Amino acid sequence: MMTIQELNEIKERTLKTMELRLQKKDTGKHVLICGGPGCHSSNAGEIKEVFEEKIREKGLDDVKVTLAGCFGLCETGPNVEIYPEGIFYSRIKVEDIDKIVDSHLCKGEIVEELLYEGSIEDGNIKPVSEVDFYKKQVKIALRNCGIIDYENIDEYIALDGYQALAKVVLEMTPQEVIELMKEANLRGRGGAGFPAGRKWETAFKYPADQKYVICNADEGDPGAFMDRSILEGDPHSVLEAMAICGYAIGADQGFIYIRAEYPVAVHRLEVAIRQAREKGLLGKNIFGTDFNFDIELRLGAGAFVCGEGTALMESIEGKRGMPRPKIHRTAHRGLWGKPTIINNVETFANVPAIILKGADWFKSIGTEDSPGTKVFALGGKIKNTGLVEIPMGITLREIIFDIGGGIPNGKEFKAVQTGGPSGGCIPKEHLDTPVDFASLGKLGSIMGSGGMIVLDEDDCMVDIARFFLDFTVDESCGKCVPCREGTKRMLEILERIVNGEGTPEDLDRLESLAETITEGSLCGLGQTAANPVISTMKYFRDEYEAHVYEKRCPAGSCQALLEFFITEDCIGCTKCARNCPVSCIEGKVKERHVIDTGKCIKCGTCMEVCPVGAVIKR
């Protein structure tokens, strides 16, 4: 059994070993390597081993190496930070390590050519905390990611880990915990934004012999990896929060429903659960009280719909993951008919911080209606692809341009897709919209779980809608008619339109199908499935019309509709004609050439070989 004294002893003892990276000490060096999903798959493990080997060879006794959770800036991975200075190296390969060890670690000379490009400004080297990407971020859910060794419970404890659990079980009643959560107004980070405190209260007030806490870790939006990074970088924050929830509602069993496609997260959770049990932080008589709580993992079999609460519970119960009609509240009758709380990973990750720092602190961040922060996975046409945590209320423009670094290759911003397959596209006239639950909803999108895909002038909005519908059609469980049949018909229409076979009636049919699917479907998946179509038709109707009436794709992206054309800039070098695989280009030397569009197979070779950029897509 763990006592509060022992917890504090571990904290003090471990903090001493972490002083360098917390910049509380300046003798010695600490190399922190990002072990997030991106860096992990681009060799972070080997980089760590090579660092350790070189450091041993050089006999550098005061240099420590740690593989930590996600740093967030996936674009430039594998990333390495060196403390106490906070120097940020990016795109590190195994062969670069010699140089860093020789000059930085041995001589204290920074290897400038390996630095992250954004950390040099006016010839000065900025520490990582001053880099634009990090400057505007506020970290609550990701507070420990990239700082602690995710497989070392002591490091979590050193940064106040399990103090919140100790506080609630030793000093607070369940009602007080619920009041605090209600006061903080932490809204569900899985997308819908339902206040966690109110949910907990509902389950607390419903008498039952058994209650359950479920962590929804079935993150499935294309391009989203917020929850994965938290689970991989700071698994204990979720375990601690689930135990706190268990104490508040009167549950002694928790389940983490995690997709099997996250093997690394599954492994790190298994390690974390084992460590927490060994320390008595999960199990019987936590902190010597009569509070018992344990957690088991349940692995999903790859169905997106199992992220929907009722389908998730069916799946845990061993049935086919199909949503149930909502006759009862989950907080009243959920898993095996017992009161159940389902919160998502990021929601839980916020809880220990709220318990320790209080509701006022939490509400001081973000907006009145949406307090706190939100983690987003930035992707698509954006310079700094990666994971960011921002205070609610900052604008889309700040996220995309100040933090995300804007659009690469000098292209024009077109729209941002938030909320994945359930969300919508927000055009540039709404870039100054603050990011909070209500504002994004008003624009026809949703906050969602945090996927943010940036689109530029080359992206066709009809094709984007088609992409998301294709995903939904694949992931519909097949239970209810509007979703099963309706989304398929919608996809067929969108496919026709991008192939230049759309008719004006198709546009009307899209609208009526969208209404039927939205209003008629059984679960959240179906009810939001049409959002990508509805929002693109609302803001980019001209693109749909161009496809249908003019058989033209304004973005030049739909292969079936574009045409290659040689402009007046042609110098008649004949290169295009010589390279054309179907010999459909004609023209005399030093005269403008012409493409026979009837024969053209749209391979784009002419455009690639033209020395003066006279070949265009239109």
Partner 1 sequence: MGNVTITIDGQKVTVPQDYYIIQAAKEIGIDIPALCYDPNLEVAGACRLCLVEVEGWRKLETSCSTKVREGMVIYTESERVVNMRKEILQLLLDNHPNDCLTCQKAGECLLQQYAYRYDVKFREHDGARRPNYVDTSSPYILKDDSKCILCGKCVRTCAQVHDRKVLAFAGRGFDTRIVADGDFTLEESSCVSCNRCVVVCPVGALVDRRLLGKTRVWDSQIKGVKCKACDYGCNFEVISKKGKNIAVRAKAPSQGRPLCLKGRLTTEFIYLDEPETPYKKVNGKFVEASWKEALELDGIFEKLVEEEKKGVGAE
486 makes contact with partner 1 (CB under 8 A): yes
428 makes contact with partner 1 (CB under 8 A): no
Give CA 373 to chain center in angstroms. Answer: 13
Report the alpha-carbon distance of residue 376 to residue 243 in Å, rounded. 26
Tell me how far, at minimum, the Cβ of 305 lies from partner 1, in Å.
Answer: 8
Tell me how far, at minimum, the Cβ of 472 lies from partner 1, in Å.
Answer: 8
Tell me how far, at minimum, the Cβ of 524 lies from partner 1, in Å.
Answer: 12
330 makes contact with partner 1 (CB under 8 A): no
411 makes contact with partner 1 (CB under 8 A): no
Binding residue for partner 1, selected from 192, 264, 297, 481, defined by CB under 8 A? 481
Q: Which residues contact 25 (CB under 8 A, 6 or more apart)?
A: 19, 84
Phi, psi torsion values for 127, nearest 5 degrees:
-70, 165
366 to 385, contacts with partner 1 by CB under 8 A? none
CB of 557 closer than 8 Å to CB of 460 = yes
Which residue matches tokens 């950390």? 119
307 makes contact with partner 1 (CB under 8 A): no
Binding residue for partner 1, selected from 263, 478, 504, 613, defined by CB under 8 A? 478
CB of 295 closer than 8 Å to CB of 285 = no
Q: Which stretch binds partner 1 (CB under 8 A): 125-133, 161-169, 321-329, 439-447?
A: 321-329
Tell me how far, at minimum, the Cβ of 404 lies from partner 1, in Å.
Answer: 34
522 makes contact with partner 1 (CB under 8 A): yes
Which ranges of 296-415 would DSSP assign to H, the alpha helix? 309-316, 345-357, 359-363, 396-397
Q: Which stretch binds partner 1 (CB under 8 A): 44-52, 216-224, 338-346, 520-528?
A: 520-528
Report the alpha-carbon distance of residue 268 to residue 259 in Å, rounded. 14
Burial (CB count within 10 angstroms: exposed 0-12, middle 13-18, buried 19+), residue 511 = middle
CB of 417 closer than 8 Å to CB of 407 = no
CB of 312 closer than 8 Å to CB of 321 = yes
Report the alpha-carbon distance of residue 105 to residue 30 in Å, rounded. 9
Binding residue for partner 1, selected from 11, 479, 547, 593, defined by CB under 8 A? 479
520 makes contact with partner 1 (CB under 8 A): yes
Binding residue for partner 1, selected from 380, 482, 502, 524, defined by CB under 8 A? 482
Which residues are paired to 32 by β-bridges? Answer: 66, 81
Tell me how far, at minimum, the Cβ of 485 lies from partner 1, in Å.
Answer: 4
Binding residue for partner 1, selected from 333, 363, 411, 484, defined by CB under 8 A? 484
Distances (CA, A) of 19 to 155, 234, 413: 11, 19, 43
CB of 137 closer than 8 Å to CB of 376 = no
Residue whose CB is less far from partner 1, 304 or 348: 304
Residue whose CB is less far from partner 1, 8 or 512: 512
Residue whose CB is less far from partner 1, 346 or 506: 506
Report the alpha-carbon distance of residue 125 to residue 131 in Å, rounded. 10
326 makes contact with partner 1 (CB under 8 A): yes
Burial (CB count within 10 angstroms: exposed 0-12, middle 13-18, buried 19+), residue 113 = exposed
Q: Which stretch binds partner 1 (CB under 8 A): 27-35, 39-47, 253-261, 325-333?
A: 325-333
322 makes contact with partner 1 (CB under 8 A): yes
**Residue (of 78, 121, 133, 118) closest to 100 by Cα position:** 78
Report the alpha-carbon distance of residue 544 to residue 513 in Å, rounded. 16
Residue whose CB is less far from partner 1, 270 or 474: 474
531 makes contact with partner 1 (CB under 8 A): no
Binding residues for partner 1, total number by CB under 8 A: 33
Q: Which stretch binds partner 1 (CB under 8 A): 78-86, 249-257, 511-519, 561-569?
A: 511-519
Tell me how far, at minimum, the Cβ of 517 lies from partner 1, in Å.
Answer: 9
473 makes contact with partner 1 (CB under 8 A): yes
Neighbours of 391 (CB within 10 A): 20
Tell me how far, at minimum, the Cβ of 495 lies from partner 1, in Å.
Answer: 10
Tell me how far, at minimum, the Cβ of 325 lies from partner 1, in Å.
Answer: 3
Neighbours of 36 (CB within 10 A): 29
Distances (CA, A) of 542 to 450, 537, 616: 28, 8, 22
Tell me how far, at minimum, the Cβ of 502 lies from partner 1, in Å.
Answer: 14
516 makes contact with partner 1 (CB under 8 A): yes
Q: Is the dihedral of CA 574, 578, 584, 586 positive or negative?
A: positive
521 makes contact with partner 1 (CB under 8 A): yes
Binding residue for partner 1, selected from 263, 325, 504, 604, defined by CB under 8 A? 325
Q: Which residues bind partner 1 (CB under 8 A)?
A: 303, 305, 320, 322, 324-327, 473-482, 484-489, 492, 512-513, 515-516, 519-522
